[in-house]
Structure 1
Amino acid sequence: MAIAPKTIAMIVGGVVLVGGGFVAAPVLGDLFTQSVAPSTAIIGEPVEFAVNENGETYGSPINDRVPELIVTRAEGGKTGYVRVSELDLARNASRSNPDPNAVYNIDVYESDGTTTVGTFRVTDDTPGPRDGFNN
């Protein structure tokens, strides 16, 4: 039985295509992984936060670094910033209060650290700005 030249060409082409795929797969996989993997460039790099006109840093905690004002949501839903020192003080007061239902309200500011936009309720189970790093 004779095999037609067209059939032989198709078989050879298929072998080359499949074999080339096996050879190229690791390279293509590396290229794809680099494009979709989360960037690790910020790990170990200095973290720079925005600075308001009063010289206070503000933003979200990152890489175990915490700015002076951290973003939060005030009662009523408005987004703003709480001063970490005020949050720590209220958390300490709440945890040392014998009343488990004690609530301490602290101000929520705009990024300027001066303009009040609402309040934030602190109870004995309110997480601190660094608690996410203690997993």
Structure 2
Amino acid sequence: MAVSAKTIAFIVGGLVVVGGGFVLAPTLGDLFNQSLAPEVGILGEPIEYPVNDAGETFGSPIDGSVPDLIAARSDDGVIGYVRVSELDQQRNLAKSTTNPDAVFAVDVYESDGVTVVGSLTVTADTPGARDGFNK
């Protein structure tokens, strides 16, 4: 029984595809499991943010991990924290408005997430807590 060149090419092509699948499987698996992996810092240690009395984490975003309250400077120059959920909401409103006179702002808190130390004006161009991680 003679085997044609077409049959040989088909078999070799299949082996390359199947073999390549085995080689790439670990990499593809890592891509799908990234959301399940624990968040770790630059040195491979778990990221542990401080927690206030309300159970909210606070600090600065690190390696894709974002606390509940992130460090920010108020319009008056006071350093404090803004609640990420409030910042995201106001950014979305600023991006979707057609009113050029609309003003959007979030409170700037102490790390307790209760004591207001200032206000931060939010525009459509205001960076979000996760900006820079998805480039």
TM-score (norm 1): 0.66
CA deviation after TM superposition for structure 1 residue 44, in Å: 4.1
Amino acid at match of 1:121: T
Partner residue, 1:50: 50
Determine the C-alpha separation between the residues in 1 that align with 2:98 and 2:45: 42
Partner residue, 2:126: 126
CA deviation after TM superposition for structure 1 residue 100, in Å: 4.5
| Paired positions, count | 95
User: Cα RMSD (Å) of the superposition?
Assistant: 1.5
Give CA deviations for 1:114-134 in whole Å, capped at 9, x if unaligned: 000000010011111000212
Partner residue, 1:70: 70
Q: What's the secondary structure of 1:131's corresponding residue?
A: coil
Determine the C-alpha separation between the residues in 2 that align with 1:42 and 1:125: 28
Q: What's the secondary structure of 2:124's corresponding residue?
A: coil
CA deviation after TM superposition for structure 1 residue 76, in Å: 0.8
Q: What's the secondary structure of 2:132's corresponding residue?
A: helix
Determine the C-alpha separation between the residues in 1 that align with 2:73 and 2:107: 11
Partner residue, 1:35: none
Determine the C-alpha separation between the residues in 2 that align with 1:43 and 1:97: 42
TM-score (norm 2): 0.66
Q: What's the secondary structure of 2:42's corresponding residue?
A: coil
CA deviation after TM superposition for structure 1 residue 86, in Å: 0.2
Where does structure 2 lack aligned partners over 5 or more consecutive residues?
Answer: 1-40
CA deviation after TM superposition for structure 1 residue 57, in Å: 0.1
Partner residue, 1:89: 89
Amino acid at match of 1:59: G
CA deviation after TM superposition for structure 1 residue 88, in Å: 0.4
Identity, in percent, stands at: 59
Determine the C-alpha separation between the residues in 2 that align with 1:101 and 1:126: 16
Q: What's the secondary structure of 1:94's corresponding residue?
A: helix
